[in-house]
Structure 1
């Protein structure tokens, strides 16, 4: 069950069929359960199909990935057995998720999607690139390495998409994208998507983009479906407070953020000790281990995931209805990306912040910067704010309607085409 809020439903009534997409792509869209375009999809798909550069700001969880994947897939010619599009994202987990969405959308089309990230065997990537690849989803360092080695031929790659562009243009990846773009043909389309855009974006835009079409759907930075609370606690009482939340809240799945990898592991151990199932994930883990944890959590094999800010960007797990900042983030950008892990694509969720005395000024500063309200947590949190069975739309009915509409829509498109537990207080040190 879900409620869809304005950030995904405030549309102009456009249908996916109105974009004149390939019939096989429409089938993939509807089979994925995407019934109507979200506002960011309405605003950008047609522009992307025209070939114009795009600079798009939209909230996390409102359909950004679909906004660029759909036109990207539509423009690829399966008969041309070359790389024609490159999607770059900042993290390995986001690369895996994005490539999976591309595979699902293009399941009825005859072209090959490849994902390549650091931390995996470079030889495997080289072997795959010796075969046919039409679309590459990559992290910056790995794709540049493959280009430098002359393995990834980008001479026919006319579409470059940068998701979570603020992170890609940060100091962490400084200079890499400039080098990547040198391998692309002069006549290419560049599309940037993110929830926040620092000054580095303006510099990049002036250097590499041609009269980009600007889309700004960020009247309010925080997701409408996410209710935010804070609780003042002493550091040594945080685990006890977390245990209380576990007992009182109706958690479908939760993500719990810490500010360091060491605290991630310590907290995960404490949560297990007090009797709750828990996974953890952070950047210092081996890539195959991270992939397995992310996959198992996404499959619902565990209710709670403790992580560092590795998992703040773009990761879409719609079953997550509770986000807890065990450690309060240091800036508004990180806070925004963290709480965006709940309330994905119009679903409801809550974000709970455990605030120490030292955090109080940061809390108010972030609240002011995001023009949002973070309320004191009440003694009892209304389940209507975050629990599926208390929300308005019955998913079983919605699923039936979606499939019925999908069948009718694809048939219509084809026809048109033919005619044209409690614990003692403990400290995580």
Structure 2
């Protein structure tokens, strides 16, 4: 049982929670639901429960899920996949709110949450039309039973999340449906033709200029034309590689997993970025970190995609920052920009194949909508995960996490999807 003083605090917090939820549906920033509403709910719930952290995992038809919102000590898990066996263990029949032991989830998450002060999870299964659509979890720091007032708080939070899903108020944030073979092929052709047209046109234009006006051009003009042709050819080759990888629904090749020095890999990858991009990168890397566990050869492509995105959407005077850190179970690196930022409702959709924030001939920014899709596929095949979030003060943070390579592993990873 909770102490009398704690019970009073929960009762007061419950009243404040009801007022906060009422305000949520009238606030223009959260009235339409989606991730802004879920983020607000988590912070309201965290305060009402006195929990060190909370998270919401959205489930899909395949029986797996993904953490789409997290606060407090759970923030590290944002974007992390939830495997089917974890979903199966978490979705219990009966009352929707119940206790889940940390041992019921994977060892890495269990150790991470234990190191952050959690003892168990108060879980609420969110059902719509009799089927679970999400899992709402509050991390509890004391080894005790849940109090009825806390169960009431979880029930109110779960009912609110369920309402948002039932009304499709900006939820689900991930696309669960398949385009179908014909629609997917048509979209692939449309994107391919659109994105190939620009570099091919530029290459042909400069090549025609060199062929038809060679004698009229001075040495500098010829070198400039050759430089542009080379740059556009590199872009074209990279685009073709991405299109081929995406067309087979797999990241390139079989991975070779093992421990490696992430800081060294990042320094080398940054040094080999295109010259214009390399000049914008500001390295804020530690001298050393624990080893990562994954495929070192994938780091250059992942960094190139993230840094290219940051460069594309940022002002020319703002640096793109590359930083790295580690915690008890993971190592991570971040690419931070001061660009146009990312809308909360887009932070998960940007990882979908062919997805683009703007479309049509009036698009401001190019791209096939494949880069982040392939980054996520590549990193998740290494038992890691990727997330995007708004940066404090404006801009975007892209974060990549990989398992640490200096911890005991129960079984070797296969590197297969």
> Does TM, scored on the shorter chain, surpass 0.5?
no
* Bigger relative contact order (CA 8 A; separation at least 6): 1
The interval holding the TM-score normalised by the smaller chain is under 0.3
Q: TM-score, normalised on structure 1?
A: 0.27
Q: TM-score, normalised on structure 2?
A: 0.27
Of structures 1 and 2, the larger Rg is shown by 2
